Structure 1
Amino acid sequence: MPPAPASPSTARAINDRLALRLLQEEGPLTAGELKALTGLSRPTVADLVERLRGAGLVRVVGESGAERRGPNAKVYGIAADRAHLAALDVRLRGLTVTVTDLLGTPLAEAAAPIGGDLDTGPAVERAAALLERTAAEAGATRLHTVGIGAPGLIDPVTGALRDSAGLPAWHRRLVGVVRERVPAAVLVENETNVAAVAELREGAARDRDTFVLLWLGHGVGAAVVLDGAVRRGASGGAGEIGFLPVPGTGALPSAADCSGGFHALAGSRAVRALAGSYGIEAGGSDTEGVPAGASAVRDALERLAARGRDARPAGAFLDALAERVALGAAAVGAVLDPGCVVLGGELGHAGGAVLAARVEERLAALSPLRTEVRASTLGGAAVLRGALLTARDAAQDALFGPLPAH
């Protein structure tokens, strides 16, 4: 039997959500433009515009007189100040916060170091106060949704940040304190997973619905995106490839220590040591904001581009690094066959197309599965952007209802 036709109320809801999606993606539109883009009749568009205006979701934001003679056509846009959002990028020794309107337009942003010299209580207070100050600066008297990207495992049932070796205690306390002090929906996700959301929507994987993001920063990790959705695993640990046993580490990882796993080959400290063996000294420190391994990769690329006497060891270092990265990518690819691996994080972004091409070449020799390797276009900024996209989607779904698929 053919499916029953949608009821009038369901049809109105579908039309309204379609119009909201178009206004979100295309920007302000006239009723005539909405009619052309939706294929709906003029009376139907007029009705839905009035419904959305009455609900406070859409307002007149201008006029357009270029379409036709006579009175100017009203231009409608989403009421972006209907709700304010915040996103947090939680790092080992610091925090970045952005506060935006409902469409994700930045209103205020701030960052603060949170060093290991602080006890847990003062560290949490500094982080929570930074969020509150940034919201006040943005004029957000009440936040609707807060998205948090953090290292470590996120319990898929409770949404809590679980204990993870090597992470400071203030990380685990922060989420609870934010929920106590900020009357908003608070969403927490692993940093690599939200970075993958950003790469999928706005970065290197925009034309892919299946890929793996290989995160190369202070530590290593992976995010698995299958059919457009991030897959988290039964315990939230999908992609914890720092613990992946690989050749070349001289040991095996344990449940509490990844020093014998892939982390020992591709983590920032390991990359810095590898660079030093080729005479490339990395600037900075792994206790600072930019991983020292990323500095080493940038230095090697500069030497390679200069084509001087330092070019050969620089190229050898990048080849050796590509060999290491390809080991992890080959293991993931053999299980998932994603067709595409994005090198993310500060190291992947710093290596760019040069490192990605080297990894792809070595990966082709290790695996019969054809896998394209791309460099992240967002780098370390992907975590904050992905946390914001997560918050924005949740807020819009709560206010608009789930938007129709493309």
Structure 2
Amino acid sequence: MPASPSTARVINDRLALRLLQEGGPLTATQLKTLTGLSRPTVADLVERLQGAGLIQVVGESGAERRGPNARLYGIVADRAHLAALDVRTDSVAVVVADLLGVTLAEATLPIGSDTGTETAAEQAAALLEDTAREAGAAPLHSVGIGAPGLIDPVTGELHDTTGLPAWHRRLVRVLQQRLPATVLVENETNLAAVAEHRLGAAQDRDTFVLLWLGHGIGAAVMLDGKLRRGASGGAGEIGFLPVPGTAGVPSAVNCDGGFHSLVGAASVCELALAHGIDVRTRIGAGEQEPAAAFAVRAALAGEGESEAFLSALAERLAVGAAAVASVIDPGCVVLAGEVGHAGGEALASRVEERLAMMSPLRTEVRAGLLGGSAVLRGALLAARDAAQDELFTAGGVGSAP
């Protein structure tokens, strides 16, 4: 059954907005070519989107051309302001941006383990408010938060997870109470996968698994372009995966003995020390680069028994990747997080080679491209998507006259 006129307008308007978002500014003629719509239809939608305050004339397409056909249309970037937070166990990072995702301001705040739950949450919320105010971006429309731990797929709330600071859960409630904004929270590894899919190493892949290799270990599963969170939000809790080569098996409340014990930051540092790469001065020293990432970079620079260390680390990583491949067959695994970023393609190629010996399923292994910014960029994409979904619909776009 053909779409009704009002439904067709919604589809056409949102298509035009997506094209302007991804490739704009564009002229009406370019929109006609890209959408395949008739010239009168494009003229109507341009007028409609301008009337809704979603697009505006931002210039002309060439000095030699003048008139209506030369006008360049672009998204009104300051129609809404967004924010993203990367919430770690001991810090929070904030970025404030416009509707096009252009960064307007950013800030970070260390939060000590001795800071009370209420105080820590209030400090983080104040950091966001101050950063937005200084950028001239208040009030905020949407806020995306990346946090470690499980997110309930039904309620969207952060689970009360053992081992994570209580202020994480409190922060979400504080922001919801203090801001007239949509507040979204998502697992940090899932957001990193979204960012690598849209902006980084997996742009050509709709199905892949991202392994987050940092202080802790996690995975994100992207199938057919969609994140798969699992029945309880626990898809990708690969740190609990029982694997050979550890002293025991994990429990329901502790991942010791699981894949985490093979490739978590502490284990990588122990492996480095065993191969003559001294990371002891960096452990707990507050260095900007984590000790495990430093160990990998040092090995790539030839320090200690570098080849033996990198081969052993690749072997360990391949064990987890092979388990994932045998169940999901993603065709591609992206190594992200501090260790994945430090290892780059050199580590990824070693893991791929070892994985090919363990699994009959062809699986490409790539290094993530976004490094430590992946979580923030994924959170900002989530906030931007939420804002655009609301504005592009609520702004009168495509509605029947």
With the shorter chain as reference, the TM-score category is over 0.9
Provide the residue aligned with 1:293 in structure 2: 292
Contact 1:329 1:341 in 2 (8 A): yes
| Partner AA of 1:18 in structure 2 | L
2:156 to 159, 176, 190: 159
Provide the residue aligned with 2:356 in structure 1: 364
Separation (CA, whole Å) in 2 of partners of 1:397 and 1:184:
14
* Cα distance, 1:355–1:286 mapped onto 2, change above 3 Å: farther
1:91 deviates by 0.7
Please state if 1:302 is matched with 2:301.
yes
2:377 to 374, 385, 401: 385
Higher relative contact order (CA 8 A, sep 6+): 2
Provide the residue aligned with 1:36 in structure 2: 33
1:268 to 265, 269, 288: 265
1:36 deviates by 2.1
Contact 2:86 2:94 in 1 (8 A): yes
1:183 deviates by 1.1
Provide the residue aligned with 1:150 in structure 2: 147
Q: Which moved more, 1:164-173 or 1:63-72?
A: 63-72
Provide the residue aligned with 1:134 in structure 2: 131
**Identity value in percent:** 72
- TM-score, length basis structure 1: 0.93
1:291 deviates by 2.5
2:4 to 7, 15, 21: 7
Please state if 1:193 is matched with 2:174.
no
1:324 to 316, 328, 334: 316
1:69 deviates by 6.1
1:30 deviates by 1.6
| Partner AA of 2:290 in structure 1 | P
Contact 2:27 2:69 in 1 (8 A): no
* Cα distance, 1:293–1:327 mapped onto 2, change above 3 Å: same
| Matched residue count | 394
Separation (CA, whole Å) in 1 of partners of 2:336 and 2:67:
53
1:68 deviates by 4.0
1:161 deviates by 1.0
1:401 to 388, 393, 396: 393
Provide the residue aligned with 1:113 in structure 2: 110
Contact 1:65 1:71 in 2 (8 A): no
SS of residue paired to 2:283: coil
Separation (CA, whole Å) in 1 of partners of 2:67 and 2:251:
75
SS of residue paired to 1:218: coil
1:64 deviates by 3.3
Separation (CA, whole Å) in 2 of partners of 1:290 and 1:125:
27
Please state if 1:224 is matched with 2:216.
no
Contact 1:269 1:286 in 2 (8 A): no
Provide the residue aligned with 1:306 in structure 2: none
Separation (CA, whole Å) in 1 of partners of 2:367 and 2:270:
22
1:169 deviates by 1.3
Separation (CA, whole Å) in 2 of partners of 1:199 and 1:172:
26
Separation (CA, whole Å) in 2 of partners of 1:93 and 1:170:
10
| Partner AA of 1:55 in structure 2 | A
Separation (CA, whole Å) in 1 of partners of 2:66 and 2:129:
50
Provide the residue aligned with 2:56 in structure 1: 59
1:346 deviates by 0.6
1:22 deviates by 1.1
- TM-score, length basis structure 2: 0.95
Provide the residue aligned with 1:307 in structure 2: none
CA distances 1:92-144 after superposition (whole Å, capped 9, x unpaired) = 11011001111111111001111112111221111111111111011112111
Contact 1:94 1:111 in 2 (8 A): yes
1:284 to 267, 277, 282: 282
Alignment of 1:246-265 (within 5 A): 246-265=243-262
Contact 2:209 2:330 in 1 (8 A): yes
1:290 deviates by 3.5
Contact 1:268 1:286 in 2 (8 A): no
1:217 deviates by 0.4
* Cα distance, 1:315–1:25 mapped onto 2, change above 3 Å: same
1:66 deviates by 4.3
Separation (CA, whole Å) in 1 of partners of 2:207 and 2:55:
34
Alignment of 1:240-251 (within 5 A): 240-251=237-248
Contact 2:60 2:66 in 1 (8 A): no
Contact 1:343 1:349 in 2 (8 A): yes
Separation (CA, whole Å) in 2 of partners of 1:93 and 1:365:
39
Separation (CA, whole Å) in 1 of partners of 2:357 and 2:245:
18
1:300 deviates by 0.7
SS of residue paired to 2:172: helix
Separation (CA, whole Å) in 1 of partners of 2:393 and 2:321:
38
SS of residue paired to 1:29: coil
Separation (CA, whole Å) in 2 of partners of 1:326 and 1:258:
18
